[in-house]
Structure 1
């Protein structure tokens, strides 16, 4: 090759190289530090912008999507939450960095000059907030499996067969929500998974046919400190259940609530004695409380369940101290210092009902009603029975006088009602007699029977109330000792809506004659005073039916 030709080749080669270098260098220099032209992120054009400007532009354009609610659908439940509430956001910085990646390479320059590019926005996820949002949704769609168990209908075991539940697939839901947000979808269907029970139907049926039937085949004996009591088959079945034990089986569980009070009394080794007061020279003096001793009833349910599991028919309960309801220290702080009310009612001597009045008065005497406590005459006295000295005497039942154990105790309820009335304490429940009884103040009296109607009142003061009772052959008195709050006066209306007496004749050995009295309505006001000023008035409205004049023919 000649020298001239070689020189031409070199010149041509140099020119080509120069063109190539200039073709790369010129656009590279002009595009340096900018997002390549034609770059779009989820439809937002950021091409040709400096990185900071691109980030700001993306933040503005994508902010609406962060605030736009997404509909999450799971198990028929639809919940709308914004991506922000779910901890989702766009990462403009990393998105722009991704757009800039490779922009200065020849391929990047060529793409910038002759092409375009679509990029997804990068997503930021606050995993804790996303998990919390999905947990709230799960609460509304998850259903726990029914583990199955055994109950009783009477003495017959009845099975509750296991059933599967359902639960939100939280990991899958988190992925689906992130993907839907990144893709710009405003609704996403989330999957539920089956939550299987730990037990099988065969296991439940086996327990019902075997252990559950044997468990109530005979009574159970409770023993503590030399005392014994019996839990009948019916009492066992009423509280006994077989429930999942968390280990793939069933275990017995016993709810002792319905028998606890009776068993506590039956297994009482030494009764506790509340602190009370004795009146010495017109002043209350504290009588110390005494701690009792009896079976630990708190362990009754688990102990019976344990005996059933072991196939035993005897339960030995530990004995524990039985604390008094009112301690000595509490009594000293109750402000029981003076008589605040007293009331006496009269009756003819020596009838059987007088025995009942004296008996109930003895039971209630010395009882201390704590501040805020509601006193229930039936709860304190319990059912009237011959074992404690109550006898048969007339009472009103179904419009007639009948003989019943404890008849006549309404006179004590009436006497206490008036002590409550003049003591200024809150009447909670009282019911007047059906017929007016002349030995009681009209409209200011109360009947009582067991279990209803009860007589209840509330100590709405901040002081304790000591109940003291006394009686003679012809009268009973109830006194309240506390700290005096009010002077109480009683005011009564005239009788109105008077209804005449009906004369009747009946036959039968159980017939008890009735003297007859008019029916009427009456209003009584309790007037609260302090320092001579009327504070308020309370109205008691009472309606009495006419008592028939009944003659009995044998």
Structure 2
């Protein structure tokens, strides 16, 4: 009987459990919400529809994030975020089941359930990375400046940056779960030098350092350095422990006091190669006695924290060798003429002035192996202050007066000397039209600003330029000779073709002020070939095609009035001609 009664009780309990499971299952438990959207008691389909109606629109709208109290907006699509409705419904829905876990879930109620998201982590990290660039604030360590000879403290600034990985995780965790801005974590960047260290450095070094001048003593002589001159080269640099340490830039400080160092030291002199008695000779270098920049900086730095008469920096000079020594000059092998050319020019006072000045400026110029000779670089702009006078130049195929007219005579002469010495032609330009006192095809013009004569020393020896000018006089031509002295390296053979492709000049009448008459010369083409040998071996062949424009015939004045052709009178009894068809 007892057994039968127990079985009956169990059957009743099981039946009641089954009824409870069936009654509670097949819907969302009571009290369930997702992202603030109530889905209690809804079927699977009803819950899905409510989420699509109420939560999906929010998942498409911009959401807010907060960084250190400032709010920013992000777009879910750009951040790779979306709502997975089916998965979210699965998370809240309880099916009809005898499973105790499901029954227990239905009895407890759902509460607030986190929405299930679709997340493209690449897009999310990229969006947070863009935000990180926007919100980042760079910190700065404390420091001290000395501009104008005054010590000034710079307070340290704490910086911060967005922690991209942690911020992305926070967004993924909080998206659609709150309407408030999502607070994103940042990492602070504390300055290496704190405020206490800045105050200490100001007190112990910076303020005393700028308190007055420092007297520098060198071998019994002395000069003063002002706080402004020291401050321009002085900095305070943090060490590994964040302690500010003074540093005086030796090179910058040497430049600041260079005028006074000249008085207390003897600069070394480089060797040179110059013409003496018609031949090149080496002028030996001389040793100097100079103040080492590093020693000067250390001595001044040590005097800066001191006061009054103790602010003295004592240093001694040391022997200093020249950068270009006597042996280096001798090793250049400047001993024989390797290229020489002479051109002649008709008398004109401006030619004597300008050709003479250009010759003086290039004379004794030493071009070391690999260096480039630049005529414009040596002469500079042709101005009266630079020793040049007004003369005729060719611009746009026409003659006109400008400062430096005639300098192309030196350019042509130098070009030919370099041509036969085998120097590398870097830049040269023939005249617009042919001038008969120059070798056809082998000539060069220069113009400040855009036309230059350049050649490179392509030998292992030095090249010394010698220029000898013989001035013209009324009825006597002048001449300019350029010689290049070195050690013979190239054997050069040149050849010029016959003139061809002739072009006739135009006739121009010009009434404008400043007109210069021209006789007119035919234009033509010519080819110049240069062959460079090392011994008997041909190393290189160069061809320069030169095209000369015609020199137009220019008459300064109005064009002549053409003489009208008289109209013949008709003969008596003559008939007019018949009209043509």
TM-score of the aligned structures, taking structure 1 as reference length: 0.48
Structure with the larger strand share: 1
